[in-house]
Chains A and B, each alone.
Chain A
Amino acid sequence: MNFPILSSLILLPLIGSFFIFFNKSSEKNRTIKYVSIFITFSNFLLALYLWYIFDKTISDFQFIEDREWISGLINYKVGIDGISILFVVLTAFITPLCVISVISTIKYRLKDFLIAILIMESLMIGVFCSLDLVVFYLFFEGGLIPMFLIIGIWGGERRVYSAFKFFLYTLLGSVLMLVAIISIYWIAGTTDVQELYKIGIDQKYQNLLWLAFFSSFAVKTPMWPVHTWLPDAHVEAPTAGSVLLAAILLKMAGYGFIRFSIGLFPVASEYFVPLVYVLSIIAIIYTSLVALMQDDMKKLIAYSSVAHMGFVTLGIFTMTQQGIEGSIIQMISHGLISAALFLCVGVIYDRRHTRQIKDYGGLVSVMPKYAILFMIFTLGAVGLPGTTGFVGEFLILLGAFKKSFIVAIFASIGVILSAAYMLWLYRRVVFGKIVNADLKNIVDLNKSEKIILWTLAIPSIFYGFYPEPIFNTIDVSINSLIQTYNANLDIYFAGKN
């Protein structure tokens, strides 16, 4: 048997967290810092290696591991294809940056935070790898526990409220998915995704099952009108928590849509396309308008996240090659850029302890390096050509135009609005005169901040100019996904007529 590389990716952080758990927790203890950096970084290297040896020419799942788990019922099955590998790499890429950020900013209970992040990494990689619905659910829901603690222990003033809201919203969405998963087990006789792709699910159940999955993914995405937990969670979470939340947690739902909603319930997906379009358009326009009104920087970026995820859901349900590829790139780009934006807010928050936009202004004269990086990410969020944001949004709009002209028009308004709120934010924070006297002796980026932000900036520009490696990876899988989808629909409509 081959080396179980996916399980190693999942287990490595977990082992690291065990090691840290049994270490002494004093503020001077450097071991836990080095161990956590080492573990997450080696996990990233492992993920890169995985991307390297990943066969981009076949659409099937690769590196499959299949072990008996709950005897006779469920197997522990993991495997990746072109869609999931990028998310695995993204997770492994973001986590070390979070660890570095945590080590330099968190002042109390560092050890617990590191353990939580490492467990989080395991669970999230597990989400993207799992090829069994129950295993998926286990990883998907398990992430609630560390995130709840991260928001609740290291969060801001209203952390308790936000943590509860986050937890209960997501749990409420997910329990219906559990009912659906168990129903699938009895309807189809298995929860193995690969098997389910082959045998398909009876059409008469698809709509209800789709809705149950949708309730979970819609909360997690988050889609309008169940997005209200996200701004709260983001605002109160510590910087690293926001980064994890924005960069990876939100992607679980987008991934879920592609893998499960479209993959398992093609007929229902086609049926509910209008619903998703309407909700996505509302999310894009409404939350962009809301973002314009925010005084709190983190809240603004949180609302912009909702708008960006609106693009993602729109793109996925165009069911076109361009749309879905655009969504995946948009998710990765959002993972890099929103993570960076939250880190940017974190940088000035750590110095001034306020997130209000009006407390800043004129930072360009005191923090030039910061201004440059912030500019890069602002433009990335706007979707300027030359950043990954552009590639994603462009493709999504292309896909949308193919399907519906009106939807595409509305979505394009969102692009304009995103430029409005992001550039306005940038202008108010960075340009202008220094009104607040405290800002005069603010220090520019320190070494670790520079490392983190440049590490995020480089790929988001590189893949903006040269997205070929990403396309290369996802092309074949998405092609086959759409082909199967259309074939299923053809069978269905042929049977109907």
Chain B
Amino acid sequence: MENINLITSEIFISLSLMSLLILGVFKNNSSSIVYNLSIFTLFLSLLINLNLFSFNNFYLFNGAYKVDHLSNFMKVLIIVSGIFVMLSSSKYLKINKIFKIEYPILLLSSILGMFIMISSNDLIVFYLGLELQSLALYVLASFKRNDQLSSESGLKYFVLSALSSGLLLYGCSLIYGFSGSTNFDQISNNISEVQYGLTLGIVFILVGLAFKISAVPFHMWAPDVYQGSPTSVTIFFAILPKIAALSVFIRFLYVPFINLIDQWQTIIIFVSIASMVFGAVAAIGQKNLKRLMAYSSISHMGFALAGLAVGTNEGIQSSIIYISIYLLMNLAFFSCLFMLKRNDIYYEDLSDLSGLSKNHPILALCLLISLFSLAGIPPLAGFFAKFYIFLAVIKEEMYFLAIVGLLSTVVAAFYYLRVIKTIYFDSQTEKFDINHDIGLKISLLVSTVIILIYFIYPSPLQALISKIVIL
């Protein structure tokens, strides 16, 4: 008998998802109830997950599903960011008239897909999870269906993502063909020497995964999708799928293929450097804040991958720390974006921020903190994220990666500074509305304060993550 207890939160989310769907269909005007209940669902599953936090290395369903510290931590990250995303975006949805019952349900099913991805220890289960989360995201990207940009972004994301899923699936089949198994642990046991078919399979899967975290050269969709989707979906895109894909990266590279590290390390290093540099350079000319954040996230994913390229436990842990802090910074930035509202219209251009600090000093300060943190300036949290990465990278004497990465932060600092310049140095424009709902305020305040005071006591997060030992 399988120990079903370990997947209580997955079961709970799927059950509540279905019941919420029924509730939404049969009850009129229930979108608000469904939305709040979804948040409540996430909250309960957070509690469930925290309860399971100490379980490590448990296998279910003949080793196809794995519960360990990595999966527990990543699931908690996903739920926490899911809660904050939903808290911060409810008003945006209402004003843009996309506050429908499908929205929270799609979010929940995407999160469920991510859970499956994170825990998967088998190529088939992994693919199922990936598709569940992607399918929900296709719909979410084009959720504002009267809007041309939104529909375009949904379609673009769908076509490219389907292509990458195809490649990924082909990679899975190659790996199955050459190793005789789809289970990660068994693949690891079965492969004894380098086979080109196997390498090709790894490359195909890496392409698919790199697409999901929008790493160069598979980043083309990100700017358009970020810009076109409703902001509430963009924030989701910016955070959650990346957490999930990163944990699959870790599990996929370090469990079955750790012995083939020579085969994939160069690829990851290349992707990492290309993302860091491209993300930094391409963002310079951007005028739309969401587009800017797309490039910024490309660059940040490069840093997270730099940690994975190292091939040590420290590297993995540094990547996880990176993604946790990245989550906070994005949350803070997008929460600020949700506040740029005037007469029920949301503004998202760089020029709209002009002189913000005179009219809205607190909001401007929050943006300042999140931007300097994104740029990695000490003593803010973003610096520590990069610090851990480079600590791991330099330990393995990969100086080239470290120096290119750090130089790209200087380039990246330029465009963050440009935003700060617009906020603080330019002349003011009209005021924005200040009647924000409490959820948005909470998510902004919590994320900014954590970024700001992280440096006082950085040990707890580190202690938590140092438990995650893959190798």
A residues bordering B, Cβ < 8 Å?
25, 68-71, 73, 112, 134, 137-138, 141-142, 144-145, 148-149, 152-153, 159-160, 163-164, 167-168, 171-172, 175-176, 178-179, 182-183, 185-186
Task: Please classify how large the interface on chain B is, using the bins under 10, 10 to 19, 20 to 34, 35 or more.
Answer: 20 to 34
The answer to whether A159 touches B414, judged by C-beta atoms less than 8 angstroms apart, is no
Q: Closest Cβ of chain A: how far from B64's Cβ, in Å? A: 36
Whether B390 pairs with A160 at a CB distance below 8 angstroms is no
- CB pair B425 A152 closer than 8 Å: yes
Are B378 and A167 in contact (CB-based, < 8 A)? no
Residues of chain B with a CB closer than 8 A to A149's CB = 424
User: Can you give 17 contacting A-B residue pairs, CB < 8 Å?
Assistant: A70-B459, A73-B391, A134-B387, A142-B378, A152-B425, A163-B421, A163-B425, A168-B413, A168-B417, A171-B410, A172-B410, A178-B387, A179-B394, A182-B390, A182-B402, A185-B391, A186-B394
Taking a contact as CB atoms closer than 8 A, the residue among A68, A69, A71, A176 that contacts B403 in the complex is: A176
**Considering only CB atoms, which chain A residue lies closest to B407 in the complex?**
A175
Bitwise, B407-432 to A at CB < 8 A (1) or not (0) is: 10110011001001100110000000
Q: State A141–B386 Cα separation when bound (angstroms).
A: 14
Among A112, A144, A164, A175, point to the contact of B409 (Cβ < 8 A): A175
Residues of B within 8 A of A152 (CB): 421, 424-425
User: Given the known A-B contacts A138-B379, A175-B406, A176-B406, are A159 and B458 also in contact in the complex, defined by CB atoms under 8 Å?
Assistant: no
Instruction: Report the bound CA distance from A159 to B424 in whole Å.
Output: 12
Any A CB within 8 A of the CB of B463: yes
User: Is B189 among interface residues, defined by CB-CB distance under 8 A?
Assistant: no
B390 and A179 form a contact (CB under 8 A): yes
Docked-complex contact A142 and B379, CB < 8 angstroms: yes
Contact assessment for B394 and A182 in the assembled complex, using a CB-CB cutoff below 8 Å: yes
Knowing that A69-B459, A152-B425 touch, tell me 5 more A-B residue pairs with CB under 8 angstroms.
A70-B459, A71-B462, A138-B379, A144-B377, A164-B414
A70 touches B378 (CB 8 A): no
Give Cα A310–Cα B391 distance, bound, in whole angstroms: 34
Determine the chain B residues whose CB is within 8 A of the CB of A168 once the complex forms.
Answer: 410, 413-414, 417
Q: Check if A164 sits within 8 Å of B421, measured CB to CB.
A: yes
**A142 contacts which chain B residues (CB < 8 A)?**
377-379
Given contacts A71-B459, A142-B378, contact A160 B394 (CB under 8 A): no
Task: Kindly list chain B residues whose C-beta atoms are within 8 Å of the C-beta of A179.
Answer: 390, 394, 399, 402-403, 406
* Residue pair A148, B417 in contact (C-beta under 8 Å): yes
Known contacts: A141-B378, A142-B377, A186-B395. The answer to whether A164 contacts B390 by CB under 8 A is: no
* Residues of B contacting A186 in the complex (Cβ-Cβ under 8 angstroms): 394-395
Bound together, the chains give a CA A167 to CA B416 distance in angstroms of 12
A185 to B394, CA, bound (A): 10
Give the distance to chain B from A120, nearest Cβ to Cβ, in Å: 13
Residue of A nearest to B386 (CB): A178
Q: Write the chain A residue with the least CB distance to B418.
A: A164
Within the complex, the shortest CB–CB distance from A356 to chain B, in Å, comes to: 24
Select which of B372, B455, B459 is within 8 A of A145 by beta carbon: B372
Q: Chain B contacts of A68 at CB under 8 A?
A: 459
Chain A residue contacts of B459, Cβ below 8 A = 68-71
A-chain residues with CB within 8 Å of residue B458 when the two chains form the complex: 69-70
The residue in chain B whose Cβ has the minimal distance to the Cβ of A173 is B410
Note all chain B residues with C-beta closer than 8 A to A70.
458-459, 462
Of the candidates A70, A73, A186, the one having the most CB atoms from chain B within 10 angstroms of its own CB is A70
- CA gap between A163 and B424 in the complex, in Å: 12
Nearest-CB residue, chain A, relative to B457:
A69
Q: Does the CB pair B413–A171 fall under 8 Å?
A: yes
**Across the interface, do B407 and A153 meet the contact criterion of CB distance under 8 Å?**
no
Determine how close the nearest CB of chain A comes to the CB of B127; give it in whole angstroms: 38
Are B406 and A178 in touch, CB under 8 angstroms?
A: yes
CA A182 – CA B393 in complex, angstroms? 10
Query: Which of chain A's residues has its CB closest to B391's CB?
Result: A182
Which chain B positions have C-beta within 8 A of A178? 387, 390, 406
Q: How far, in whole Å, are A179 and B394 apart by their CA atoms in the complex?
A: 8
Contacts A168-B413, A179-B394 known; A145 to B406 CB distance under 8 Å? no
| Cα(A65)–Cα(B184), bound, Å | 49
Give bound CA distance, A25 to B420, whole Å: 21
- Of A137, A153, A167, which is within 8 A of B424 by CB? A153
Q: How far is the CA of A148 from the CA of B419 in the complex (A)?
A: 13
B404 to chain A, nearest CB (A): 11
B390 A71 Cβ-Cβ under 8 A: no
Interchain CB contact under 8 A, A167 and B413: yes
Contacts of B414 in A (CB 8 A): 164, 168
| CB contact under 8 A between A167 and B391, given known A138-B455, A179-B403 | no
Q: Are A71 and B463 neighbours in the complex by a CB distance under 8 Å?
A: yes
B41 to nearest A CB, angstroms?
Answer: 35
Closest chain-B Cβ to A160's Cβ sits at a distance in Å of 6
Q: What is the minimal beta-carbon distance from B356 to any residue of chain A, in angstroms?
A: 13
Nearest CB of chain A from residue B107's CB, rounded to whole Å = 35
A319 CA to B178 CA, complexed, in Å: 66
Whole-angstrom distance between the Cβ of A167 and the nearest chain B Cβ: 6
CA of A71 to CA of B391, assembled, Å: 14
Closest Cβ of chain A to B416, distance in Å, is 10
Residues of B within 8 A of A159 (CB): 425
The interface centre, meaning the residue of A134, A145, A185 with most chain B CB atoms within 10 A of its CB, is A145
A82 nearest CB across to chain B (Å): 28
What's the least CB distance linking B388 to chain A, in Å? 9
| A144 vs B425: C-alpha distance when bound (angstroms) | 16
Alpha-carbon distance A138/B379, docked complex (angstroms)? 6
